[in-house]
Amino acid sequence: MKAAQRDNATQAHSAHGSGSDDDMMRASHQRTLWAHLINLTLGVWLMVSPATLGYTERAMIWNDLIAGALVIVFSAMSLSYRLRWAQWANVAVGLWLLFAPLIFWTTSAAAYANDTLIGSFVIAFAILVAEMPGMSMAAMMTGPDVPRGWTYTPSTWIQRLPIIALALFGFFIARYLTAFQLGHIPAVWDPYFKDGTARVITSDVSKMWPIPDAGLGAVSYMIEALSGLMGDKRRWRTMPWMVALFGIMVVPLGVISIVFIIIQPIVIGTWCTLCLIAAAAMVIMIPYSLDEIVAMVQFMRQNQKNGNPFWRTFWQGGTLPEENPDRAPGLDAPLRTTMREMWLGGVNYPWTLVAATAIGVWLMFTR
């Protein structure tokens, strides 16, 4: 969708060679006004949710009424090119909606599902579909697709789809565990350790968090999926801040997941099968995200050497002279080629790593 928008913007820029960055951003803003109108509708949906979904908790009733009113106001403001900062205000409301059911420990499964879905959609329509304010259209329309010295683009959809798929997989597992922690379901399934999952997510370690720790994991996975959907194949240089956020969400959280898995048999005395599966998804995401982070860091260093301001480039993106053609296949390539590039592009599996992984899996099943 955004690729089509940028193609149109490129044609407009070619037709009006004197067109400024601001002119292109204004034209892009006009083409995506519909996204803010959808968010406005979602705000209305939030406001009527307490009555239509039968909320009984005062905190959640007021939460959806106030959040819905804010989404309506900020969406209306986002229709103005001069007030595009309101898009980020809507992102903040969307993030709050992801956390609100956890902070209030809602006993309503409907309220939890509703706020999670609406919060995600508000974020998506505010900055994923609509063009983000502050971006440099000139950087997005010019410059190379492939990082200097590379043979492929680490930000293509083919490269990011495995990460997005794994993030959604982890989200659904974490959301299921959260439903048990919030009391929405009476029991939780564990095919191997029997009551291990229930013991882990109701343990003293789990209760140390002010909100359900599984719910915090679900929010993290959803943010990872949304950030994975943001930008195009050049975001390693057009959106350095997003690549950095993506790396922070994936790599450090992956390490934290490993630590929590390690302490389960030591501190709690058992393992949680679903926690192991979700942590495995998080760990697999790490190598698939590292190449994009490396490309972004290299680009930032090259820009500094060229004398460009660090923070302006970090937040608005930049460009470099084109050197390499983009040889990465697109989603329209044959299915076999697409799947090979999706799971093997930018990573490899030496037999030593495969053997170490097999030993690790065997050790985990020994309890």
What string of DSSP letters covers 288-299? Answer: HHHHHHHHHHHH
Give the Cα separation of 5 and 298 in Å (integer): 28
Q: What are phi and psi of 267, to 5 degrees?
A: -90, -40
| pTM metric for this prediction | 0.80
pLDDT at residue 140, rounded to an integer: 63
Residue type, 365: F
Helices (H), 182-308: 196-201, 204-207, 213-228, 235-238, 240-263, 273-305
Q: What percent of the chain has pLDDT over 70?
A: 83
DSSP 159-174: HHHHHHHHHHHHHHHH
Task: Give me the sign of the Cα torsion angle 221, 244, 36, 55.
Answer: positive
Residue 235 has pLDDT above 60, yes or no: yes
Burial profile 162-178: b = 16 or more Cβ within 10 angstroms, e = fewer:
bbbebbbbbbebbbbbb
With CA atoms as reference, report the closest residue to 282 among 246, 258, 259, 248.
258
The pLDDT score that the predictor gives to residue 8 is 46
Dihedral Cα 153, 288, 121, 189, nearest 10 deg? 160
Amino acid in the structure at residue 93: V
Residue 138 has pLDDT above 70, yes or no: no
359 token code pair: 């030993």
Q: Which amino acid is at 150?
A: W
Q: Encode 274-302: b = buried (16+ Cβ within 10 Å), e = exposed.
A: bbbebbbbbbbbbbbbbbbbbbbebbbeb
Give the pLDDT confidence score for residue 137 in this predicted structure. 59
Residue 14 has pLDDT above 60, yes or no: no
Distances, alpha carbon 193 to alpha carbons 43, 190, 279, in Å: 43, 6, 16
Of 89-93, 273-277, 283-287, 355-359, the poorest mean pLDDT is in 283-287
Residue 71 has pLDDT above 90, yes or no: yes
Confidence of residue 181 (pLDDT cuts 50, 70, 90): very high
Ranked by mean pLDDT, the top range of 57-71, 73-87, 118-132, 280-294 is 57-71
Angle (nearest 5°) at CA 110 between 124 and 46: 50
Secondary structure of residue 240 in the 3-state scheme: helix
- The residues near 150 (Cβ < 8 Å, ≥ 6 apart) are 295, 324
Counted residue by residue, the chain has a size of: 367
Given a contact cutoff of 8 angstroms between Cβ atoms, the answer to whether 132 and 125 are in contact is no
Which of 47-61, 91-105, 145-159 bottoms out in mean pLDDT, i.e. has the lowest?
145-159
The Cα diameter of the chain in Å comes to 68
Residue 46 has pLDDT above 70, yes or no: yes
Q: What is the mean pLDDT of residues 256-276?
A: 82
Q: Which residue has the higher pLDDT, 68 or 138?
A: 68
Binned at pLDDT 50, 70 and 90, residue 158 comes out as confident
What is the rounded average pLDDT of the residues 226-246? 85
Asked whether residue 329 carries a pLDDT value surpassing 60, the answer given is no
User: What integer is the mean pLDDT of 103-127?
Assistant: 95
pLDDT tens for residues 283-323?
A: 888 888 888 888 899 989 888 888 888 888 888 888 877 65
d(CA 116, CA 122): 10
Write down the pLDDT at residue 7: 46
- Residue 99 to residue 178: CA distance in whole angstroms: 12
pLDDT grade, residue 123 (50/70/90)? Answer: very high
Q: What is the mean pLDDT of residues 324-351?
A: 61
Q: Which amino acid is at 258?
A: I
**What average pLDDT does this structure show over 189-193?**
86
The predicted pLDDT at position 9 comes to 45
What three-state secondary structure class fits 90? helix
- Which pair of structure tokens corresponds to residue 126? 């505010």
> Sorting pLDDT into bands at 50, 70 and 90, what band is 13?
very low
pLDDT above 90 as % of the chain = 32
| pLDDT the model gives residue 4 | 45
**pLDDT, mean over the chain:** 82
